[in-house]
Amino acid sequence: MKQSLFKKPAVQTLLSSLICIVAGLLVGFIILTIINPSGSGQAITTIILNFITRSSGPAKLKAFGNTLAKTAPLLMCALSVCFCYKVGLFNIGAAGQYEAGACAALFMAISVGAPWYVCLLAAAAAGAVLGAISGFLKAYRNVNEVISGIMLNWITLYLTNMVLSNPAIKDPASPYTKPLSSANAKGMLPTMGLDALFANNRYVTVAVPLAVIIAILIWMILEKTRFGYELRATGFNKEASRYAGMKEKRNIIVTLAMGGALAAVGAAFLFLSGYQQWSTTQTSVPGMGFNGIAATFLGGLSPIGTIFSSFFIQSITDGGALINRSLYPAEISDLISAVIIYLCGFVLFFKTVMNGWIAKNEEKKALKAKGGNA
Amino acid sequence: MDAPYAIEMLNITKRFPGIIANDNVTIQLKKGEIHALLGENGAGKSTLMSVLFGLYQAEEGIIKKDGVEVKINDPNDANDLGIGMVHQHFKLVQCFTVLQNIILGVETTKNGVLQMDEARKKVIALSEKYGLYVDPDAVIEDITVGMQQRTEILKMLYRDNEILIFDEPTAVLTPQEIAELMQIMKNLAREGKSILFISHKLNEIMEVADRVSVLRKGKYIGTVNVKDVNEAELSRMMVGRDVQLVVEKEPAKPGNVVLDIQNMTVASKVHKNNAVKNVSLQVRSGEIVCIAGIDGNGQSEFVYGLSGLEPLVSGKITLCGKDITKSSIRSRSELMSHIPEDRHKHGLVLDYSLEYNMILQLYFEPEFTTKAGFLKRKEIREYADRLIDEYDVRSGQGAITTTRAMSGGNQQKAIIGRELDRPHELLLAVQPTRGLDVGAIEGVHRNLIKERDAGKAVLLVSLELEEVLNVSDRILVMYEGEIVGELDPKQTTPEELGLYMAGAKRSTPKGDKA
C-alpha cells in the first residue's frame, strides 16, 4: 500500500498549503517584476528570509524575536477563527473581539493599574461577551454571525477608541495610549528570561509559549474530549446533533464566546508586551483578526497547523517591510503579503483538485492492471 | 428503413472515483414500448439516466437515436432529441398555474406578449388525447400530488417529447392514483411514445411494462420480456439471491401501554394551520403500530412532536407512565429509540467516522467518556466494531470510515444498529426502509418483529403500503394531520387502505376541538 501516503488527509493538507505558499510567492514575484524588474529577485528573497537578511547575529535574533512577538497574537486570532470554524461558525468578528481585548487589557493595565494576569483575564472576558452577543443573535434570532460580527467590529473599534481616549490612558501629546513600561510595569507580560535568548528583545514574552500551549489545548479539546465531540457534531450537522439531544443553541453561544476570548487574549498578548500602543484615532479595523482567517485556512483548519501558518504569515509581513524602499513604493510590503495571504485561502481548492487528480490516476492504474490481466 | 429502437444506450461505462457506476450497460428502448429499468438503490439507474440526459458523460459506449449515433452534452441536447423526464421530486413552480408551468421555458410570444390561448388549446387537446385530466388554471400548490405529476407529464408532451422517462413515479401516489398513472402510461405507449420506467416495485413493473432491464451493482444483468418472468425471478435478478417477499411473524401479544398520546397538536412550519390535529393513540409493549398515510399528511410533524424536535401546541405524551410532554430530547431518548425519517439530516453526522456516529446518542455516558471529559477511544472502537459486526454494516475502512463515503443502505443499517442496541422501551421507526433494496428491507422488517417479540413497543411510520400491511399489528391512517381510521392489517385490503389514505373514507369522527 505505497500510494496511500498521498491519500492521507494530513499529507494532503500540508501539500496544498505548500502549493498555496509557492503560488502566492510566485504571484508576488510577478507583481514586483512588473513594478520594477531590477530589484524583484532581491525583494522576494527579502520577504521570504525576513530576519535572516539582517546584518549581524544579534540583529537577526532581535528581528526574529519581533516576528515571534507578533506571531503570538496572530496565532490567537487564528485559533479563534479555527475553533469556531470547526463548529460551523465563521468568526469574522475575531477582529472586533481583538479590539475588545485590547480595550479591556489596556484599560485594566493603565487606568486601573492591574497586574498582567488580571489584564489578560479582563481581555478574555471582554472578548467572550462580544462573541456571546454574536452567538446569542445567531442561536435565538438566527442572525448570521458574519453580519453581526462585521457590525460589531466597527462598533467595538469606536468604542475602544472612546474608552482609551480617556486622559488617564491616552498619551497627552500623541494619539497613542501611554507606553506601558512607564504607565504600569506590572501590567507588562513577564519575559521569563526569553528576552535574553533574543538579544535582549523584551517584546518576547510569556505570550509566545502560552499561545503555542493554547493551540495544543484547543486541539485536544476539539479532538479528544466529549465537549469537542459535541461541538464538532453541532458544526457538521446541527439537526443531527439536536436529534441526539445536544443543546445546539448553547453550543453556538459557548463556541463564539470561547472564540471571542481567544482573539481578545491575542490582543492582550500584543499590547501587554509593550511592542505597540493603541492608536485612538484609527479608523480601520485592525488586520490581525482578518489575517487570522488566512492563517486558519493556510494551517489546514488544524489548531496545530495554525502555529506554523501564523508564523509564516507574520514572517512574510515583516519581511515585506524590509524591501528596498528606493526601488518600490512603501505600500509594496502590504500589497505582497496581502497577495500571499489571499492565495493562502485557496488551500481547500488545491486539496480538492489534488484529490480529483489522485482518483483519476488511480483509476488509470486500475484500468491498466485490469487490461494487463485480461 | 425505420430503426426499431427509439433510443439505444450501448455498452455505457461511467466511472466515479473509486467506483464504476455503470459497467458496460446496454439498454435498447423500442418505439412504443414501456421499458422498465429495475435495480436496487445504488445499482446505477440514476447514473444511467443522467448519462442519457447529458448530465454526465460516459467514458465508454455510445447513444443512438433512431439508429443514428448522437452526442448528448447537456440537458438541452436531450430535450432537442425529444427526451423528457418526470423527476421523482417534481420541478414545478408552486405559485404558478398548471398552464403556466407547462409552457415555462417554451412560451410563445408575439411582440413580447405571451400568447396563452394557443398554449391552452394545445394543452387541452393533449390532456384529452391521453386521458390526463387536469384543470389548466389550477394553482400547483392547491392540487394533489397526482395532479402535479400529470402536469409534469403534460410538460413533456407539450414539448413533443417522444421518449419519456419516469423516475420512480409511484413513490408519492395513493393506490388509486397509481392505477390511473399505469393507465396513462399505457395510453402514452399506445400512441407511440416510448417510455422508460425506473422502479424497484416489482408488482408495478409486472403490470405495466413490456420489457424490463435489470441492473445490479452497476452491472447489466439482462433484459427480459415481462410476460416470461414472475416476481420472484425478477427479484432474484435484481438482488442476486432468493428473497423472502412476505414477512413471517407470530400473532402479537400486546402487554402494557408504553406510549400514550392524548390530543396531540403540532404546528406546521409551512402553513398557518396545524400539521397534526388532536391526535390520540396508544402503543403497547409487544405490538407494532403503524401510522400509514401519504407523504405530507402530518407524519413528519407528528414524529417531531413525539421525539421533542418540535414543541406541541397542545396535548400530552406519556411514556412508560412518565409525562414527557415538556421533556428534553435527551431525557426522552433514554426510553425511546428513534430511527429518523431523514438519515442525512437527522440520523447521522456525515462527516464523522462510523464509530463516532455509533455513539451519537451515548457519547456522554460514563461508558464512553472519562470523568475528566475525555472520550474513551478504545471503548468506542470496541462498541462500534461490535455493532458493525452484529448489524452487518459494510464500509471501506470499518469503524474509521467517514459515514459520508458509505452507501445509503449501510448508513441506514448503522442507524438501525445504533438505535436498536441502546436501551429503550419504545422504538419509533420512521420509514426505516426508505431507499433500501429488497434484501436490506427484509432484514429491517425482521429486526422490527424481533423488537416486538422482545416486548418492546414499536411505532412504525411508513408510506409503503406493502410494509404497512405486512409488518404491522395495527394500522392507524393519518390524513391531513388527523387519525382517520384504525384498521386490522389481516382484515383490510390495499384498496380500502388507499381510500382512507386519500381521505375518501374515515371511521373516526372528525376531530372536535376538545
DSSP readout, A38-105?
GGHHHHHHHHHHGGGGSSSHHHHHHHHHHHHHHHHHHHHHHHHHHHHHHTT---TTHHHHHHHHHHHH
Distance of residue A345 Cα from the nearest chain B Cα, in angstroms: 22
A242 and B CB contact within 8 Å:
yes
- Name the residue ranges covered by the structural domains of chain B: 7-239, 284-311+324-501
Strands (E), chain A: none
- For A226, which of B333, B340, B364 is closest by C-beta distance? B364
A99, A282 contact by CB (below 8 A):
no
* Whole-angstrom distance, CA of residue B26 vs CA of residue B359: 44
Distance of residue B16 Cα from the nearest chain A Cα, in angstroms: 9
Extract the C-alpha cell encoding A103. Answer: 480595550
Q: Do A243 and B15 touch (CB under 8 A)?
A: no
Residue A347's pLDDT is 75
Q: Do A225 and B374 touch (CB under 8 A)?
A: yes
Distances A231 to A221, A225, B429 between C-alpha atoms, Å: 10, 10, 27
A365 and B CB contact within 8 Å:
no
State in Å, rounded, how far the first CA of chain A is from the last one: 23
> What fold is seen in the domain B7-239?
Rossmann fold (3.40.50)
DSSP lists the bridge partners of residue B220 as: B215
Residue A1: pLDDT band by 50, 70, 90 thresholds?
Answer: very low
- For A229, which of B17, B338, B375 is closest by C-beta distance? B375
* Sequence-ordered list of residues with C-beta below 8 angstroms from that of B257, at least 6 positions apart, any chain: B282, B283, B284
Give the lowest-confidence range in A12-16, A70-74, A241-245, A257-261: A12-16
B59 and A CB contact within 8 Å:
no
Give the lowest-confidence range in B168-172, B215-219, B435-439, B504-508: B435-439
DSSP lists the bridge partners of residue A144 as: none
Q: Do A225 and B307 touch (CB under 8 A)?
A: no
User: Which chain A residues are within 8 Å of B373, Cβ to Cβ?
Assistant: 225-227
B366 and A CB contact within 8 Å:
no
Mutate to test the interface with A, among B307, B309, B336, B349 (most CBs of A within 10 A): B349
Distance of residue B375 Cα from the nearest chain A Cα, in angstroms: 5
Report the run of H or E that residue B389 belongs to, with start and end.
Answer: helix B377-390
User: Which chain B residues are within 8 Å of A240, Cβ to Cβ?
Assistant: 345-349, 360
- pLDDT of B401 > 80? The answer is yes
A322, A291 contact by CB (below 8 A):
no
**Residue of higher predicted confidence among B439 and A268:** A268
* CATH superfamily name and code, B284-311+324-501: P-loop containing nucleotide triphosphate hydrolases (3.40.50.300)
B340, B430 contact by CB (below 8 A):
yes
Mean pLDDT over residues A298-324, rounded? 89
A236 and B CB contact within 8 Å:
yes
Q: What is the ipTM of this complex?
A: 0.81
Residue B514's pLDDT is 35
Q: Is B275 strand, coil or helix?
A: strand
Strands (E), B105-162: 109-110, 113-114
* Whole-angstrom distance, CA of residue B507 vs CA of residue A276: 80
Extract the C-alpha cell encoding B120. Answer: 391552452
Distance of residue A243 Cα from the nearest chain B Cα, in angstroms: 6
Q: Do A226 and B361 touch (CB under 8 A)?
A: no
Mean pLDDT over residues B186-191, rounded? 91
Under 8 Å CB pairs connecting chains A and B tally to: 68
* Whole-angstrom distance, CA of residue A255 vs CA of residue A91: 10
Percent of chain B clearing pLDDT 70 (strictly above)? 95
Give the best-scoring range by mean pLDDT among A166-180, A357-371, B46-60, B141-155.
Answer: A166-180
Give the best-scoring range by mean pLDDT among A355-364, B110-119, B170-179.
Answer: B110-119
**Residue of higher predicted confidence among A303 and B170:** A303
* Whole-angstrom distance, CA of residue B498 vs CA of residue B463: 11
- For B352, which of A227, A236, A243 is closest by C-beta distance? A236
pLDDT tens-digit readout, A244-299: 999 989 999 999 999 999 999 999 999 999 999 999 999 999 988 888 998 998 88
Residue A363: pLDDT band by 50, 70, 90 thresholds?
Answer: low
pLDDT tens-digit readout, A181-198: 888 889 999 988 888 888
B340 and A CB contact within 8 Å:
yes
pLDDT tens-digit readout, B151-169: 999 999 998 899 999 988 8
Three-state secondary structure along B409-458? Answer: HHHHHHHHHHHHHCCCCEEEEECCCCCCCHHHHHHHHHHHHHHHHCCCEE
Q: Do A243 and B351 touch (CB under 8 A)?
A: no
Ramachandran category for residue B156: left, alpha or beta (phi over 0 → left; psi -120 to 50 → alpha): alpha
- For A226, which of B348, B350, B373 is closest by C-beta distance? B373
Residue A4's pLDDT is 60
Distance of residue B169 Cα from the nearest chain A Cα, in angstroms: 29
- What is the rounded (10 degree) CA torsion for A257, A260, A262, A263? 170
- pLDDT of A359 > 90? The answer is no
Residue B427's pLDDT is 96
Instruction: Please report the residues numbered 446 through 485 in chain B whose beta carbons come closer than 8 angstroms to any beta carbon of chain A.
Output: none
- pLDDT of B280 > 80? The answer is yes
Q: Do B374 and A224 touch (CB under 8 A)?
A: yes
- Positive or negative: CA dihedral A151, A156, A161, A163: positive
Mean pLDDT over residues B249-277, rounded? 88
**Residue of higher predicted confidence among A44 and B175:** A44
Among chain B residues, CA nearest to A237? B349
Give the lowest-confidence range in A2-11, B56-65, B350-359, B385-394: A2-11
- pLDDT of B511 > 60? The answer is no
Q: Do A240 and B375 touch (CB under 8 A)?
A: no
Residue B294's pLDDT is 80
Extract the C-alpha cell encoding B131. Answer: 386521458
Q: Do A240 and B346 touch (CB under 8 A)?
A: yes
* Whole-angstrom distance, CA of residue B277 vs CA of residue B302: 9
Q: Do A233 and B352 touch (CB under 8 A)?
A: yes
B90 and A CB contact within 8 Å:
no
Distance of residue B373 Cα from the nearest chain A Cα, in angstroms: 5
pLDDT tens-digit readout, A92-136: 999 999 999 999 999 999 999 999 999 999 999 999 999 999 999
B375 and A CB contact within 8 Å:
yes
Q: Is A247 strand, coil or helix?
A: coil
- pLDDT of B513 > 70? The answer is no
Residue A162: pLDDT band by 50, 70, 90 thresholds?
Answer: very high
Residue A190's pLDDT is 93
Residue A5's pLDDT is 67
Q: What is the mean pLDDT of chain A?
A: 88
Mean pLDDT over residues B231-254, rounded? 78
- pLDDT of A360 > 80? The answer is no
Residue B243: pLDDT band by 50, 70, 90 thresholds?
Answer: low
Q: Is B358 strand, coil or helix?
A: helix
Residue B509's pLDDT is 62
On the question of a common fold for B7-239 and B284-311+324-501, the answer reads yes
* Whole-angstrom distance, CA of residue B138 vs CA of residue B120: 13
pLDDT tens-digit readout, B9-37: 999 998 876 678 888 999 999 999 999 99
- pLDDT of A170 > 70? The answer is yes
Q: Is the entire prediction scored with pTM above 0.80?
A: no
Residue B2's pLDDT is 56
- For A237, which of B328, B350, B364 is closest by C-beta distance? B350
Give the lowest-confidence range in A189-203, A325-339, B258-272: A325-339
B423 and A CB contact within 8 Å:
no
pLDDT tens-digit readout, B283-316: 999 999 999 988 778 899 999 999 999 999 999 9
Among chain A residues, CA nearest to B368? A226
Residue B512's pLDDT is 42
Q: Do A245 and B356 touch (CB under 8 A)?
A: no
Residue A27: pLDDT band by 50, 70, 90 thresholds?
Answer: confident
B407 and A CB contact within 8 Å:
no
Give the lowest-confidence range in A43-57, A175-189, B175-189: A43-57
**Residue of higher predicted confidence among A81 and B174:** A81
* Sequence-ordered list of residues with C-beta below 8 angstroms from that of B362, at least 6 positions apart, any chain: B368, B422
A230 and B CB contact within 8 Å:
yes
Among chain A residues, CA nearest to B330? A245
pLDDT tens-digit readout, B189-217: 998 999 999 887 788 889 999 999 998 88
Q: Do B363 and A224 touch (CB under 8 A)?
A: no
Distances A322 to A52, A53, A63, A330 between C-alpha atoms, Å: 11, 9, 11, 10
State in Å, rounded, how far the first CA of chain B is from the last one: 73
Among chain A residues, CA nearest to B14? A363
User: Which chain B residues are within 8 Å of A226, Cβ to Cβ?
Assistant: 363-364, 369, 373-375
User: Which chain B residues are within 8 Å of A236, Cβ to Cβ?
Assistant: 349-352
